[in-house]
């Protein structure tokens, strides 16, 4: 009987070990007992690319996937990271927030990627963050967002509202007049961005005539344009995204609106959207972004030429979202190199990369938009905001550029809520709340 029991226990433990084998078991003072190393010495470093290649968000997000592959190839050709190549695990999120969430779990638990690069909308980011935070993992969010968020698991290489609409709104008021109409896609980023824009508009002495939101992915703007026609604003402030953005600009022109008397000022309509809609529909409108394809510096000239000649440059342009995604690859590289130097390859965790990323710089020689760096408290990016006007050929002429880097401020219009620090959201009473989303 004892022999049978002993054999049963051995068989049970063996089966359990076999079931767990794909995830590996190691002992480590830096990782929980039983956890597999995220990176194994001599093996590829796996990262997840979680963008939409199909659906309404594919217009900007396909290019994010392409430019990440380009950056990974570039890094690998120069020796990889600590002599090990990066291996992308590419996922099509299909412009579906449920797919973003499901695939995040797969990337972390099944594919064992050490970091995820992904999302273009705040709705998709918020769909995956609970999983990222529960696993103490790491998301590189490479585009603009509204702020009012303080997690310890996100690194953002795009602009916040105080680096975006804070310049654009007063510029448009000064150039075209005080009356404005807001149009946005119906989800968290446009609505929260417009809360910021209202503050800047009030400070500029402007007047909000109307505010409309259309379903994400919708292409019907007739009713909204009728309201705009009645209101007669001096300009339109747009936070419409993806395929909807293209439809909005096309219908604006088709309905007889004139760009010289009522331009659209956007936070999203760059070179890729203009190319997709046709240059004639983008010409004359405005965009606020830290990067434009036409930036005149040696690094950008090299980036544009090399990328467009590569197998990844099939869409024919570069734009702000691509460049911010490209920067995130180098922020990852430099942060991982620091983490490896401190703890060794097999002791690196996603959180260790994040903790070694504060203060990381991407210098002029690498960054197409020029020097940027990661804030050591809120892990967003110091950058120089710019405003461009779309030209007849689809390029953008820079009409305003910040002379100095602007600090990212996630709570710029909510100072009473506290300050985002490396440990969490710190309130006036000194209490710190972690993982605020």
List the pLDDT tens digit at each of the 437 positions of the chain.
Answer: 444 444 434 444 444 343 343 333 333 444 444 568 999 999 999 999 999 999 999 999 999 999 999 999 999 999 999 999 999 999 999 999 999 999 999 999 999 999 999 999 999 999 999 999 999 999 999 999 999 999 999 999 999 999 999 999 999 999 999 999 999 999 999 999 999 999 999 999 999 999 999 999 999 999 999 999 999 999 999 999 999 999 999 999 999 999 999 999 999 999 999 999 999 999 999 999 999 999 999 999 999 999 999 999 999 999 999 999 999 999 999 999 999 999 999 999 999 999 999 999 999 999 999 999 999 999 999 999 999 999 999 999 999 999 999 999 999 999 999 999 999 999 999 999 999 99
Burial of 383 (0-12, 13-18, 19+ CB in 10 A): buried
Side-chain half-sphere exposure of 429, counting CA atoms within 13 A: 2
The full set of domains in the chain, from first to last, is 45-159+296-383+409-433 (3.40.50.2300), 162-289 (3.40.50.2300)
**Neighbour tally for 298: CB within 10 Å:** 10
Q: What is the DSSP string of 131-191?
A: HHHHTT--EEE-S------B-SSEEE-S--GGGTHHHHHHHHHHHH-SEEEEEEESSHHHH
Instruction: State how far the Cα of 30 lies from the Cα of 394, in Å rounded to an integer.
Output: 51
Looking at residue 35, what is its pLDDT?
Answer: 65
pTM of the predicted protein model:
0.91
Q: What is the DSSP string of 222-256?
A: HHHHHHHHHH--SEEEEE--HHHHHHHHHHHHHTT
Instruction: State how far the Cα of 220 lies from the Cα of 345, in Å rounded to an integer.
Output: 52
Identify how many contiguous H helices and E strands the chain contains and give both numbers: 13, 18
Supply 222's token pair.
């007739």
> Which residues are CB-neighbours of 111 under 8 A, at least 6 positions away?
46, 48, 89
CB 405 within 8 A of CB 383: yes
> Which residues are CB-neighbours of 116 under 8 A, at least 6 positions away?
47, 48, 49, 50, 104, 107, 108, 128, 132, 137, 138, 139, 140
Max Cα separation, the chain?
92
Looking at residue 2, what is its pLDDT?
Answer: 41
Supply 84's token pair.
């090990």
Return the H-helix or E-strand segment holding 201. Answer: helix 188-203
Question: What DSSP character marks residue 81?
Answer: B
Supply 197's token pair.
């824009």
Return the H-helix or E-strand segment holding 337. Answer: helix 320-343
Q: What is the CA radius of gyration of the chain?
A: 23
> Which residues are CB-neighbours of 106 under 8 A, at least 6 positions away?
91
Instruction: State how far the Cα of 340 lies from the Cα of 345, in Å rounded to an integer.
Output: 5
* 3-state SS assignment for residue 210: strand
Supply 270's token pair.
């760059």
> Which residues are CB-neighbours of 396 under 8 A, at least 6 positions away?
270, 271, 287, 292, 293, 294, 388, 389, 390
Question: What DSSP character marks residue 346?
Answer: G
The string over 77-113, giving b where at least 16 C-beta atoms fall within 10 Å of a residue's C-beta and e elsewhere, is: eeebbbebebebbebbbbbbbebbbbbbeebbeeebb
Burial of 22 (0-12, 13-18, 19+ CB in 10 A): exposed
* 3-state SS assignment for residue 413: coil
Nearest to 126 by CA among 93, 157, 149, 152: 149
Instruction: State how far the Cα of 108 lies from the Cα of 86, in Å rounded to an integer.
Output: 16
């Amino acid at each position: 009987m004892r022999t049978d029991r002993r054999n049963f226990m051995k068989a049970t433990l063996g089966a359990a070990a076999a079931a767990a084998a794909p995830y590996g078991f190691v002992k480590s003072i830096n990782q929980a007992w039983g956890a597999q190393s995220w990176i194994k010495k001599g093996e590829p470093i796996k990262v997840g690319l979680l963008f939409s290649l199909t659906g309404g968000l594919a217009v900007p997000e396909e290019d994010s996937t392409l430019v990440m592959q380009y950056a990974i190839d570039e890094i690998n050709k120069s020796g990889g990271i600590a002599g090990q190549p990066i291996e992308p695990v590419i996922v099509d999120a299909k412009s579906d927030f449920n797919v973003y969430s499901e695939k995040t779990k797969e990337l972390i638990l099944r594919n064992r990627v050490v970091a995820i690069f992904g999302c273009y909308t705040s709705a998709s980011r918020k769909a995956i963050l609970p999983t990222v935070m529960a696993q103490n993992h790491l998301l590189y969010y490479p585009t603009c967002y509204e702020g009012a968020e303080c997690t310890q698991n996100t690194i953002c290489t795009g602009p916040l509202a105080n680096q975006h609409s804070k310049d654009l709104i007063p510029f448009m008021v000064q150039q075209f007049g005080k009356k404005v109409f807001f149009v946005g896609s119906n989800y968290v980023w446009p609505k929260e961005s417009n809360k910021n824009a209202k503050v800047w508009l009030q400070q500029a002495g402007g007047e909000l005539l109307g505010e409309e939101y259309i379903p994400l992915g919708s292409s019907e703007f007739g009713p909204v344009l009728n309201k705009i026609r009645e209101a007669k604003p001096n300009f339109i402030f747009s936070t419409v995204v993806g395929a909807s953005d293209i439809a909005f600009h096309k219908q604006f022109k088709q309905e007889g609106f004139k760009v010289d008397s009522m331009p659209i000022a956007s936070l999203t309509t760059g070179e890729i959207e203009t190319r997709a809609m046709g240059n004639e529909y983008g010409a004359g409108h405005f965009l606020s972004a830290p990067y434009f394809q036409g930036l005149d510096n040696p690094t950008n000239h090299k980036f544009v030429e090399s990328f467009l000649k590569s197998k990844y440059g099939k869409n024919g342009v570069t734009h702000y979202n691509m460049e911010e995604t490209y920067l995130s690859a180098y922020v990852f590289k430099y942060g991982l190199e620091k983490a490896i130097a401190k703890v060794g390859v097999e002791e690196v965790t996603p959180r260790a990369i994040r903790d070694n990323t504060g203060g990381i710089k991407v210098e002029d020689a690498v960054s197409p938009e020029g020097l940027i760096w990661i804030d050591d408290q809120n892990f967003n990016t110091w950058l120089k905001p710019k405003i461009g006007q779309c030209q007849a050929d689809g390029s953008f002429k820079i009409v305003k550029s910040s002379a100095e880097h602007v600090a990212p401020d996630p709570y710029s219009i909510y100072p009473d809520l506290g300050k985002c620090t490396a440990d969490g959201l710190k309130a006036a009473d000194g209490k710190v709340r972690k993982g605020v989303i």
